[in-house]
Copies of this chain bind each other. A is one copy, B any other.
Amino acid sequence: MDEEIKPGDKKKLGFIGIGVMGEPMAANLLRAGYDVTIFDRTCRRCEKLALLGATIASSSCHLAQASKIVITMVSDTAMVEQVLFGENGAAEGMESGAVLIDMSTISPTSTIEFGNRLAALGCEMLDAPVSGGSNGAITGTLGIMVGGHREIFERCLPIFQVMGKTITYTGQLGNGQKTKLVNQVVGATNLLGAVEGLRLARKAGLDIPTTMQAVMSGAANSWMLTHLIPLILKEDFAPGFSIRLQHKDLKLLTDWIASLGGDFPAAQLVYSLYSQAMEMGLERQGNQGLINIWEP
């Protein structure tokens, strides 16, 4: 890829994985004027985007043949491997010089391995996991943490700017995923703190709005406290970000920590609690449903 990709270019973007996140992200690219080819193994997920002008490919390989840049937004590491290197995978169709941008949250170690395999084919890879959930995807305000060669990042920046607001270049390939996992341990720990504060206030019979207002006004404040405690108080457990995905990310985190070595007690604790939430069948709730481990 020699030049910047601009809206209106033909035969440029492919988007694999038209789910809760991928659909609005691809829709924003279409609305910005990009020519986008899409693929999802569940065909009907592509229908809405076709109305916005997307071309539907019959496989990841066909999609890659029609694209200079292939974006993947799928559920996990195994699925990224399959859409890239499985039967009729994207790698088969990518020409030398093409770029793969994986926006899924997957293993940083596997990311580096996938990048090496693509490099052997003359292709580039960026890892670009996101934060901000489905709402951020719809409004084009995702946080995007990007790893890979800086010049490739800069050429792809206009694409990221369509989908996100805070776009951070984090260094070499894999660093996007690592930054995302750092983000996840901090966020999950903050949410545990907020939930535990609420549970304690309830158990003690304190007035909840008064207590939460006092806690929010000082050094104990956090985004999680401000945004998710009000949902819990309304008994709104709809997923902005689901327990299933939180658990998946924390599993990636603890696997990564195991490979790094060292003692990370908050990561261990939040992973064990979200594992418990999964066993209790809470996987479809939003991550604020953590409290339902104790208050089912």
Are B214 and A143 in contact (CB-based, < 8 A)? yes
Chain B residues, CB < 8 A from A171? 206-207, 210
| SS class, residues of chain A in contact with chain B | helix
CA distance A201 to B182 in the complex (A): 7
- Contact present for A168 and B210 (CB under 8 Å): yes
A77 at the interface (CB under 8 A from B): no
Q: How far is the CA of A263 from the CA of B290 in the complex (A)?
A: 14
The docked-state distance in angstroms from the alpha carbon of A166 to that of B220 is 14
A-B contact pairs, 19 of them (CB 8 A): A131-B219, A143-B218, A166-B218, A171-B207, A178-B204, A185-B196, A186-B196, A187-B219, A188-B193, A189-B192, A189-B196, A190-B193, A193-B266, A200-B260, A218-B223, A219-B224, A219-B227, A263-B294, A269-B269
- Stoichiometry, as copies per complex, reads 2
Q: Does A234 contact B (CB under 8 A)?
A: no
| Complex CA distance for A171 and B178, rounded to whole angstroms | 45
A222 interface residue (CB < 8 Å to B): yes
